[in-house]
Amino acid sequence: MKIIRLLFTNIGIKQTLLKNTFWLVLAEAVIKILSLVLIIYMVRVLGVTQYGKFTFAFSFVSIMAIFSDLGVVDFSTRGLARNKNNEERFSGIFTLEALLCVFMLGVSVVGSFFITPDSEIRKIIWILSIFFISNSLFGIIFSFLRARQNMEYEALIRIAQSLANTLVVFFVILYLPSIGNVSYGYLISNLIILFFLLLLFRARFQPIHLHLEKHSLDVLKMSWPMSLGFVASWTYLSINSVMLGYFNLITENGWYNAASRIALVAIIPATLILKTFYPMLSNFYVSSAEKLQKSWDYLAQSMLWLALPMVTGMIVIAPKIIYAFYGPGFSPSILALQLLIIVIGISFITIPYSVILVVADQQKKNFSLIVVGAVMTIGLNVILVPWFGFYGSIISALIASSAVFFGTVAVAHYTTAIRIVNKNLLLATVISAFSSAVMYGLIHNQFMDHAPLVIICFTGALVYCLLSLVLYRISYVRSK
């Protein structure tokens, strides 16, 4: 009974943080494992060219899906976390989200005629657009649960959603293998879980009535600068996939997305930490400047602890991962994965600065920075892809994400009260960099060349964690 109470009840700040982290880790682990297994199976059965078509359509719709949210989900989480009385207006916010979904569907359908002449890809775009609409409705309900710090409900629902997607799509690939049928599989399984989620939300929290309020339009006026979120890398990676499809590099798009799907899995820890910290930072912004600074320091240090070893380790084991998951036919994906993981690492260390801009009501500046990065990515793609193929698109994202990082740090420094550079953050950087270097020397050693991938990962993670812990303890004692 005590364990159940700890996992399903908010008792204190530390316990709530640990409880939410547990559920988010569990959900993301299950979801990403199932998703990765499904993608590998899809690639092996459908082939790199068909997979390239599917991911082209998927990436295009994921960009269009920005119009189905326009930051309403993140704004809703922040608003509900700051004042529980805002829950009375949730039906209006849900209605706004539904109207945005209809708008996004129209934009996707019209855009599909401009982005590709392939009728098969256009059909997949239409189906996946409805799939993304259902995901947006999931998201607005999750904003309510996150604001209440009830991540356990979100976790269980997302696990059910992932299981349904996996089972239905796996069945489709096994018996009716085509990218069109795969798209239908994702859509149908999502709609089933969404139906039960709406029933659960009505019974457990409050009924949802479709009606638009004046307040809802006010929300849209303030939320749209949050439409690109905090992790800009997904935007740049999706743009790259669309650009490759536009240049008719379909096979190369398959190689690119094989690598990018693995790179995006590495975002799991960052998104988990972000989801846990964001409601808390939003609350502290209006209640305690001291707690806000302390919490932001923890967030920034956490991203550093994750980014440096992740980039270092993935560069070493990229060949083993690609060959193990996809086979020798995907060898061009090795360098792609090594470059993409650097893009993801840059996004990791950008997150704390993006988050504090949004928390401090500077979301328009954060939006502008991401848009600048997106425009840079598109422009550089036009220049570099004809010269370097799909590697040129990755170089474009690398340059753009670096520029956005430095810009975000500078803007956060001049527009927020947060001390963005301090002794603890510098110490964390030095310790993490040194520990990552030692880990690199160990797992890159010739004695590890023939070791199983699991052993290499476990050994590297263990060495990094132990060394970091020891160094941190020593530095902490000396500082006392």
Model pLDDT for residues 121-168, shown as the tens digit of each residue: 889 999 999 998 888 888 888 777 776 666 677 788 888 888 888 899
373 against 17, higher pLDDT:
373
User: For residue 111, what is the enclosing H or E element?
Assistant: helix 90-115
Model confidence at 4: pLDDT above 60 = no
pLDDT at 15: 57
The answer to which of 3-12, 40-49, 438-447 has the lowest mean pLDDT is: 3-12
Find the range with the poorest average confidence among 27-41, 64-78, 169-183, 359-373.
64-78
CA distances from 3 to 7, 9, 56, 310 (A): 6, 10, 45, 32
Q: What single-letter DSSP state applies at residue 258?
A: H
Query: For the residues 369-396, what does the mean pLDDT come to?
Result: 87
Token pair belonging to 283: 């609350």
Name the nearest CA neighbour of 280 among 305, 297, 266. Answer: 297
Q: Are 152 and 7 in contact (CB under 8 A)?
A: yes
Q: What is the largest CA-CA distance in the chain?
A: 67
Position 123 scores a pLDDT of 92
Other beta carbons within 10 angstroms of residue 340's beta carbon come to: 28
Check if the beta carbon of residue 65 is closer than 8 Å to that of residue 136: yes
More confident residue, 124 or 90: 124
- pLDDT beyond 80 at 21: no
Residue 384: which residues within 8 A CB-CB, separation 6 or more? 392, 393, 395, 396
The pLDDT, as a whole number, for residue 342 is: 92
Q: Which residues of 233-261 are buried (b: 16+ CB within 10 A; e: fewer)?
A: bbbbbbbbbbbbbbbebbbbbbbbbbbbb
pLDDT of 150 reads 66
Neighbours of 437 (CB within 10 A): 15
SS3 261: helix
What is the distance between the alpha carbons of residues 76 and 82, in angstroms, rounded to a whole number? Answer: 10
Q: Which of 205, 201, 81, 86 has its CA nearest to residue 137?
A: 201
Alpha carbons 407 and 403: distance in angstroms, whole number: 6
Q: What is the mean pLDDT of residues 325-337?
A: 85
Task: Enumerate the domain spans of the chain.
Answer: 24-227
Residue-level pLDDT at 229? 58
Mean pLDDT of 48-72: 80
Under a CB-based contact definition with an 8 Å cutoff, are residues 322 and 259 in contact?
Answer: yes
Distance (Å, whole) CA 185 – CA 445? 44
Q: Please report where in the chains the tokens 């297994």 appear, as a residue.
A: 37
Residue 3 has pLDDT above 70, yes or no: no
DSSP string, 162-188: HHHHHHHHHHHHHHS--HHHHHHHHHH
Report residue 81's pLDDT band, with 50, 70 and 90 as the boundaries. low
Q: CA-CA distance, 4 to 152, in Å (whole number)?
A: 11
Give me 329's structure tokens: 């036919």
The mean pLDDT value for 416-443 works out to: 85
How many CB atoms lie under 10 A from the CB of residue 301?
19
Burial class of 129 by CB neighbour count within 10 A (0 to 12, 13 to 18, 19+): buried
CB distance 388 to 403 below 8 Å: no
Q: Please name the amino acid found at residue 297.
A: D
